[in-house]
Amino acid sequence: LILLVPVLILASSGLAWGEEVKWRYEYAPSRQEAQRSGLPLLLDFSTDWCTYCKKLDVTTFKDPQVVKALNEQFIPVKLDGNREKRLVEHLRLQGYPTIILAAPDGRILKTIEGYVDAAKLQAQLAEVSAALSNPDWMLKAQQEAGRAMAAGDFARATMLLRSVLEDEGQRPVQLQARRQLQEIEQLAQLQLQRARQHAERQEFAEAMTGLESLQTRYEGTQTAQDAAKLLAQLAENPQVKLQQRSRRAVEMLAQARRDLREQNYLCCVDRCAVLATHFGDLPEGAEALKILDQIKANPDWLKAATETLADRLCEMYIALAEVWVKRGEPGLAEESLQRAVAIKGSRHFEAARVRLVQLKSQPAEPQ
């Protein structure tokens, strides 16, 4: 695949041969203009001794429809083959005139050798324009992606931009979409770099938090995939596992202390029991045992914990009874409700008693 060279210092030609076409005469600035505008290029290679080149100028390039198409939908560039030898060699041109139609990024779409009449050139121009046109749905998606980027919703922006680029086309809107994706990737790379720096300093908790945030915020990017791989590697690191275990114990103890302050004694007991069982080798496990002893030594706290447990157990028996009813097992449902009403101190005692009376009053279904 031959691409137009990105930059060449080219000599400009003299006066324009076709006054109606807004010719450019320097290649490098024209390439830059095409990239900025998203318009394709028409390169007309000719020489001053070429008869058919002159015929092309006074016929085809004078045609009103051709002129309109070139001025509105293309960047027309007229180049002297004798002066642009480096470009001619790069493109491997065999003769004159030669017209090259290229995408805004320099990808060559069509090469027309020799004289071409207005009708045939117009058809070629229309075909290229159609291939590079911006469908309405692509424009809307790209614009919506821009708004998402401005709002910091990079995951949604990435999804929209990837839908625009799905067919790997070279339309102007797709060139813009690629630039936007590159911007998102660059932002994600900055966050990935910070996470790697944390990991290098053995600040694994900060590194993993940053990587998890990156995966969510920049979902769909290549950088997010790289972050997932690094996160998986860190998760297998023995030092990381130790830090994570210690961090979990610290967080659980903090929650247990919060439960104690807020008088959620049963929840506090549950958390402290987990800490004592699974983190007994850590300071948090020892601290949890002290909190458990505090609760057990305080009759009011212990009473509140047992009442909460009774409420929870009664509520669960009622729920279990409803499951048995739905499954056509009234006997098992009654058994569950009888267990519920046996817990007389529960706030759900009366609801369990009423439901048990209702269930017993229902006629038995025939065997």
Q: What is the pLDDT of residue 158?
A: 97
For residue 38, the model assigns a pLDDT of 81
Asked if 268 and 199 sit in the same domain, the reply is no
- What pLDDT does residue 4 have? 57
Strands 98-102 and 41-46: antiparallel
The set of residues, in sequence order, having a beta carbon less than 8 Å from that of 176 and lying 6+ positions away, is 38, 142
pLDDT at 186: 97
Tell me, yes or no, whether 221 lies in a domain: yes
Q: Could you tell me the maximum CA-CA distance found in the chain, to the nearest angstrom? A: 111
Q: Flag whether 70 is in a domain.
A: yes
Strand, coil or helix: what is 283?
helix
CATH code of the domain containing 69? 3.40.30.10
Looking at residue 244, its pLDDT comes to 80
Among 131, 166, 199, the domain boundary falls at 131
End-to-end C-alpha distance for the chain, whole angstroms: 81
Question: How much is the pLDDT for 174?
Answer: 87
What is the rounded distance in angstroms from the CA atom of residue 158 to the CA atom of residue 185?
Answer: 9
The low-confidence residues of the chain, meaning pLDDT below 50, are 1-2, 6-18
Rounded to the nearest 10 degrees, how much is the dihedral formed by the CA atoms of 83, 89, 91, 95? 70
Based on the domain organization, do 114 and 141 belong to the same domain? no
Q: Give the pLDDT score at 214.
A: 96
Clarify whether residues 149 and 228 are in a common domain. Answer: yes
Please indicate, yes or no, if residue 168 is contained in any of the structural domains. Answer: yes
* pLDDT value of residue 77: 96
Same domain, 192 and 282: no
What tokens were used for 322?
């409803």
268 and 211 fall within a common domain: no
Joined tokens for residue 304: 């509140």
CA nearest to 43, candidates 323, 5, 137, 253? 5
Does 353 reside within a domain? yes
In a domain, 169, yes or no: yes
Is 232 a domain residue? yes
311 is in which domain, residue-wise? 303-361
Question: What is the pLDDT at residue 132?
Answer: 80
Measured distance CA(47)–CA(58) in Å, rounded? 15
